[in-house]
């Protein structure tokens, strides 16, 4: 084989391996005493995906726990660095990979992190993750920017024409009727926005609104934390973990995990789990 043919051969071989690599993906299995959770990790959060796979394949997640459990919210685990006795100040973090197409619907996997005061760049913890449980939301509640609305309502209630609303707001607050208070704010949202020329809504796609209405989740975390994966199978296991009896959010009986990784074709993943890979533009 001459030099030109040899170069062409290796070039075609490299292309073959590249195509084969793109045709395959990883299915993550999180095994617990409640059963197995199977998940996929997203291609458009490559740093988080590679980090999670590295920790899983090296066995570093094994024997860690779901150490923070909140029914109706999420289950959090994977505290590798405490298990390894790494000093807190040396815990590695990952750069944020927050994408508008990934929101906190039930079954999404996201990275835990420190709060904005000490972490304005929203960098992720280098190992800890959480799986969303949450609840369902009506469209108006989902699309309302409650932080902006709370600020605006005090300005709005200073208007002479809103004296009655101010009295109603004060009464509900003093009686601790927070659900009724929320409904009052929602009923006035559009008028407050128009009167004060403010935007008091969040932008969600129709598909995201539908998912929150039918599947549920925790939308107040959206675009603040990196969502990097999704449960394919085992949401019932997530529910069982979330239902654990806890003290200060820690399960009384430890929920220990073991994480394994299996490489399989994307076509098989789609067929076996009903997962639809996004179309790459």
Q: What is the pLDDT of residues 214-270, one digit of tens each?
A: 999 999 999 999 999 999 999 999 999 999 999 999 999 999 999 999 999 999 999
118 and 217, same domain (yes or no) = yes
* Domain encompassing residue 44: 25-138+205-271
Q: Is residue 9 part of a domain?
A: no
Which ranges of 175-265 does DSSP label H, i.e. alpha helix? Answer: 178-196, 206-214, 235-242
Mean pLDDT of 103-114: 98
Domains in the chain, number = 2
Q: Compute the Cα dihedral for 220, 226, 229, 231 and give only its sign.
A: negative
219 and 264, same domain (yes or no) = yes
179 and 239, same domain (yes or no) = no
Q: How confident is the model at residue 21 (pLDDT cuts 50, 70, 90)?
A: low
In tens, the pLDDT along 116-155 reads 999 999 999 999 999 999 999 999 999 999 989 999 999 9
190 and 209, same domain (yes or no) = no
164 and 221, same domain (yes or no) = no
134 and 232, same domain (yes or no) = yes
CATH code of the domain covering residue 212: 2.40.100.10
| Residue 43, pLDDT above cutoff 90 | yes
119 and 159, same domain (yes or no) = no
d(CA 200, CA 165): 18
d(CA 237, CA 240): 5
69 and 160, same domain (yes or no) = no
d(CA 68, CA 220): 18
Residues 6+ apart with CB under 8 A from 74: 130, 131, 132, 133, 134, 218, 242
Q: Is residue 281 part of a domain?
A: no
CB atoms within 10 A of CB 220: 12
């Amino acid at each position: 084989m001459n030099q030109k043919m040899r170069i062409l051969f290796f070039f075609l071989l490299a292309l073959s391996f590249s195509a084969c690599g793109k045709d395959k993906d990883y299915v993550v299995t999180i095994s617990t005493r409640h059963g197995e959770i199977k998940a996929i990790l997203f291609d458009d959060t490559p740093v988080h995906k590679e980090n999670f796979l590295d920790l899983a394949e090296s066995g570093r997640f094994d024997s860690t726990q779901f150490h923070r459990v909140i029914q109706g919210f999420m289950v959090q685990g994977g505290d590798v660095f405490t298990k390894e006795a790494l000093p807190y100040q040396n815990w590695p973090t990952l750069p944020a990979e927050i994408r508008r197409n990934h929101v906190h619907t039930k079954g999404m996997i996201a990275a835990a992190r420190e709060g904005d005061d000490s972490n304005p760049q929203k960098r992720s913890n280098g190992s800890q993750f959480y799986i969303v449980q949450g609840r369902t939301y009506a469209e108006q509640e989902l699309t309302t920017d409650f932080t902006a609305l709370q600020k605006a309502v005090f300005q709005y209630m200073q208007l002479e024409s809103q004296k009655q609303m101010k009295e109603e707001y004060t009464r509900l607050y003093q009686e601790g009727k927070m659900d009724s208070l929320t409904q009052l704010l929602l009923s006035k949202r559009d008028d407050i926005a128009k009167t004060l020329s403010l935007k008091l809504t969040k932008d969600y796609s129709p598909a995201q609104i539908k998912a929150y209405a039918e599947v549920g989740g925790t939308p107040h975390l959206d675009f603040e934390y990196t969502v990097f994966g999704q449960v394919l199978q085992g949401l019932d296991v997530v529910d069982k973990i979330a239902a654990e009896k806890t003290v200060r959010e820690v399960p009384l009986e430890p929920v220990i995990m073991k994480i394994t990784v299996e490489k399989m074709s994307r076509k098989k993943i789609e067929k076996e789990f009903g997962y639809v890979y996004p179309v790459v533009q």
